[in-house]
Amino acid sequence: MQLVYAKWRAIQWTLEKSILERCFCRNLAITFISDFLRKYAKSKKLYVFVGLNTFVMPLKCYNHARMNEQARTLRLGMAQLDVTVGDFSGNLDKMLHVLDEARRLNVGLVVFPELAICGYPPEDLLLKPQFIERNLQYLDKLVQASSGLSVIAGYVESGDYLYNAAAIICDGKHIGTYRKIFLSNYGVFDEDRYFKPGSECPVYVIDGVVVGINICDDIWQVDGPARMQAHAGAEVILNISASPYHYGRMKERIARLVSQALDNVAIVAYNNMVGGQDELVFDGGSIVLSEKGEILACGQQFAEDFIVVDIDLEAVAQARVGDSAWNQGCDMATVWPVRQVIVSQQSDNIDKPAVPPRNVVEYAIDAEIYNALVLGTRDYIYKNGFKKVVLGLSGGVDSSLVASVAVDALGKENVIGVSMPSRFSSEGSKTDALLLAHNLGIKLISLPIENTFKSYLDSLCDVFGDAGTDTTEENIQARIRGNFVMALSNKFGWLVLPTGNKSEMATGYATLYGDMAGGFAILKDVPKTLVYKLVAYRNACAGYDIIPQSVIDKPPSAELRFNQRDSDNLPPYDVLDQVLKAYVEEDKSVEQMVNMGLDEDVVRQAARLVDRSEYKRRQSPPGIKITTRAFGRDRRLPITNKFNGNG
């Protein structure tokens, strides 16, 4: 006879209350029940339900005759979707397509990401009653389409308050709702502005399996909902999420999820959104882990995916019986009320189609970042109704990388380069721009700015007098170029892609209404040193120097005066980027950075440039977040302030 944790049954055999009251903790109850069942092992089968201190523990006793039955499994399908905020019809169409596929594969439970109905993050659209109502209308449409299936989907629950919620649906009925408890309110997130946190930790019996459902940040808490649900009998902890990308994020997630699987002796299934939404990229990478922390299945990064996996529940039951540490945790205090809701009983053991084989590509860090830029660019352009983009091709490394990403995202026929040489442009830069356009197969327009530049200088001559030349004349050239690409944008409906990188945005080494002009800044969160790594990655993928080696080898220069170099105004990028990472992304002080071994003069110069350039960044276009802290909603500083971060 084997004692295991198992599913709920409609018929349950319960012990007398007086006996249970003599058990002061769950472990004593388990010992007592085990002895009791051994004594009565001759019965064909016994179903036991034990409730202690608001916890729920389902138990099942098999006699020797039932030991050879097929192991209890759940076929889980996680739909990793690229949804769009406010596109209720389009989002639902994707979900209905998944439901059709789930029926074909006889999936027991279909899961959609956090706020999949309305898209994430909806921000102040949540303040519009008509947005909330539309969200509820389309949830109803999903419910009506769920015939024969159990479904979990993220939506906005409405009442006296708004909740970030998960709907539990079965066979055309909305059975229950889980409300997110730990609201995301840091970095790019503002959930406290809109939502009220949930206050319950229900578990649901779905297809005969006890499932704990929670949302995004709930799974990151050590003593959070996952633990409560596991000790309330949940064999599977299912988390729906909309977790945006930054490099290294995938490893962080896996480490947290493995810890939850091991600590709770439970299957952990994590379903993440995928796709670009403004400056955020959701990278997918959904994953299912065994109770031992082993990967059972995972979703592709940066692509829609439907992950179907058969989960063995008997392994969880056996592991829990032998895990004394887990059993001791059963007596932990209840933070949130726990209740159990029966959604559906175990389906009949019918033959199921084979689970489709999976071939998931694992990305190295440079490949991961590059794919994030491609996905973020593609979704921003197409979701906002644009078809083509235009950018200035200077022959430099930044514009070369932007052009390459744009081609990979949109196709070469939808990318237009513009060469705008001046008297200060080197011959190498001109030929490099031509060669790059040829290698990428994109159209290149030539618009020299010399005559326009002369006209500006002539018009301003009397006003400037003998003031001499300085950055004013440099910025005039940048603004002429900005005007040219914006004119093409207005005339043909092309979106302008500025080419500045994070190092330049941080230090203000960019011209307002000049090289900062545009609609979407692909490299806004990409430091200069990382630009070179991504160029090397792209060339390695091509198998040749699709971005010419001469572009990589030349010293960085804006070419706005004779023999100009970036190093004339900035520290070397390999040093500068270390300072910027510490100061911008990690909030380290000047003293801390000096103690890290960084040169004090360089640190103070960089900090001063960052602090005084906030007004410029506030006027820059959105760009793709790929670091732990990007400029924009990730880092919100007042323009007007007297705090001196330079010490």
Residue 314 annotated in active site: no
CA–CA dist 69, 132 (Å, integer):
48
Helices of type H across 425-470: 427-440, 450-464
Pairing of strands 495-496, 389-392: parallel
Q: What angle do CA 397, 400, 403 make, to 5 degrees?
A: 155
Q: Which of 61, 118, 170, 180 is catalytic?
A: 180
CA 71, CA 489: separation in Å to the nearest integer? 62
Q: How far is CA 110 from the centre of its chain?
A: 20
Annotated active-site residue 114? The verdict is yes
Provide CB contacts within 8 A for 240, sequence distance 6+.
Answer: 111, 112, 113, 114, 116, 152, 153, 154, 166, 213, 215, 216, 271
Residue of 482, 85, 79 lying closest to 269 (CA atoms): 79
Marked catalytic residue, from 118, 170, 216, 298 = 216
Q: Judge whether 600 counts as a catalytic residue.
A: no
- Cβ neighbors of 198 (< 8 A, separation 6 or more) are 163, 165, 178, 179, 180, 181, 336
Contact between residue 424 and residue 430 where contact means Cβ atoms under 8 Å apart: no
Name the burial class of residue 149, with classes exposed (0-12), middle (13-18) and buried (19+) by CB atoms within 10 angstroms of its CB.
buried
CA dihedral for 323, 325, 327, 330, sign (positive or negative): negative
Give 362's contacts (C-beta < 8 A, 6+ positions apart).
Answer: none
> Token pair for residue 461?
């001559």
> Would you say 273 and 242 are in contact if contact means Cβ atoms under 8 Å apart?
yes
* Single-letter residue type at 631: F
Helix (H, G, I), strand (E, B) or coil at 510: coil
Tally the residues of the chain.
647
Sign of the torsion formed by the C-alpha atoms of 273, 276, 280 and 281: positive
Q: How far, rounded to the nearest angstrom, does the alpha carbon of residue 552 sit from its chain's CA centroid?
A: 31
Active site residues: 114, 180, 216
